[in-house]
Amino acid sequence: MKISALKGFSDILPGEIESWRFVEEQAREVFTRYNFSEIRIPILEKTELFSRSLGETTDIVEKEMYTFADQDAKGSLLTLRPEGTAGVVRAYVEAELYKTEPQSKLFYIGPMFRRERPQKGRLRQFHQIGAEILGRGDPIADAELLMLLKDFFSRVGLEGLTLELNSLGCVQCRPRYRRELLAFLKERGKQLCPNCQRRMERNPLRVLDCKEESCGEATRDAPSILDDLCLDCKGHFEMVRGLVQKHLPAYRLNHRMVRGLDYYCRTAFEWTSDRLGSQNAVAAGGRYDGLVEDLGGPATPGVGFAIGMERLVSLVDKERGGRLDVYVAWIGVEARGWAFALAQQLREGGMSAEMDGDEKSLKSQMRRADKLRARFVLMVGEDELKGGKATLRDMDTKGQEQIGLDRAAEIVLARK
């Protein structure tokens, strides 16, 4: 019986995984340069962690979480993590990092789970790279994250991304804007989709985030939160914009961007691509100054982001994935043993190497080397064994040279 993968759950196969590894390696290198430390958080958490942090009216909590009863604790519910920030903050509070590392810079890489309609770049099991700065409320931290993302996108070869910025205000100024927006929406209630009509009273800002065409049209002239910011929020946002302007002059303001989770405040941002269709966000995030306190810790500011890896990998040049260093091609049974020994020497010396176990034509082996995107092919046959030389071919330049068998490993390893 043939068993297929679940809908919305996808294998990452050889030929694809190389691009994933490339992205992850570049992330670790760039994030470390900005003094971030990696954290690994559980895939499974108590449901209340997400319902409390994300907000009861969010689409994630209302209809997208994979939740089930904990058999070991009657009445308790568990949830596969739908995002990473809540888990990182839970770990920060539980481990009391605010005592040992009050200014913590953390990043994570891993799968998330949401029960939503699978589409291009969005699966039910999807992957994120995320980063959080906890313990810093200054606008420098916000700008630093945006510079980190700029550097990271550059390292993986992405061009043409657009940065969108907004401020969501704070507990002081947002209530005033909320009342203004709610009054605006009530006048247009019949034009809103059923979901927005239902949640408008509880969280009117979410209506601005709705992707339904009718809601977009109805809220086209909605008031801007940027007009209602308090002096502190206005000053914070102006400094972020000033810092970003020097390095990312092409950014644009988007007063409709509210983010889909309740914990966000002040700075909010998205990096988008015009190559992804309607679901065009590659990375998104913002400030969440009340989340640590909401989850049982001391009053601690925070700011972070998450990158959708499926979308990111779809934009990365596939040629940037891993390459085989050396393919060892052999002709004749006597050459096979020498080729095996050489391949081992190269692997032990830090190069990737491959060879066939069964005897094949040189043409067939060269096709295999091409498929593996080998940088070099070392060719040896019975005549080469007798003459004490092998042929080393550079697959990029197509140049060839004769090298001595006794120094073959040394010469090839020098090309590492």
Ranges of each domain in the chain: 17-173+229-318, 323-413
pLDDT tens figures, 195-218: 777 777 777 777 777 777 777 777
Is pLDDT at 384 greater than 90 in this prediction?
no
Q: In this predicted model, which residue has the larger pLDDT, 90 or 176?
A: 90
Strands, sheet with 67-69, edge to edge from the N-terminal-most edge strand: 44-46, 77-80, 67-69
Task: Give the model's confidence band at 279: pLDDT under 50 very low, under 70 low, under 90 confident, else very high.
Answer: low
Please, are residues 137 and 300 in contact by the beta-carbon 8 Å criterion?
Answer: no
pTM (2 d.p.): 0.80
* Dist. CA 369–CA 371, nearest whole Å: 5
Which CATH code for domain 323-413?
A: 3.40.50.800
Residue type, 373: R
Please, are residues 253 and 227 in contact by the beta-carbon 8 Å criterion?
Answer: no
Percent helix, strand, coil in the chain, to 5, is 40, 20, 40
Q: In this predicted model, which residue has the larger pLDDT, 163 or 192?
A: 163
Q: What is the pLDDT of residue 141?
A: 92
Q: What is the pLDDT of residue 170?
A: 86
Task: Give the model's confidence band at 407: pLDDT under 50 very low, under 70 low, under 90 confident, else very high.
Answer: confident
Q: What is the pLDDT of residue 96?
A: 92
Is pLDDT at 71 greater than 60 in this prediction?
yes
Q: What is the pLDDT of residue 319?
A: 58
Tell me the average pLDDT across 4-12.
86
Q: What is the pLDDT of residue 303?
A: 95
Tell me the average pLDDT across 115-128.
79
Please, are residues 320 and 149 in contact by the beta-carbon 8 Å criterion?
Answer: no
Q: What is the pLDDT of residue 48?
A: 85
Residues in Cβ contact with 344 at an 8 Å cutoff, skipping those fewer than 6 apart: 353
Residues in Cβ contact with 136 at an 8 Å cutoff, skipping those fewer than 6 apart: 103, 301, 302, 303
Is pLDDT at 278 greater than 60 in this prediction?
no
Pairing of strands 281-287, 265-272: antiparallel
CATH H-level superfamily of 17-173+229-318 = Bira Bifunctional Protein; Domain 2 (3.30.930.10)
Task: Please calculate the CA angle 20-23-24 and round it to the nearest 5 degrees.
Answer: 85
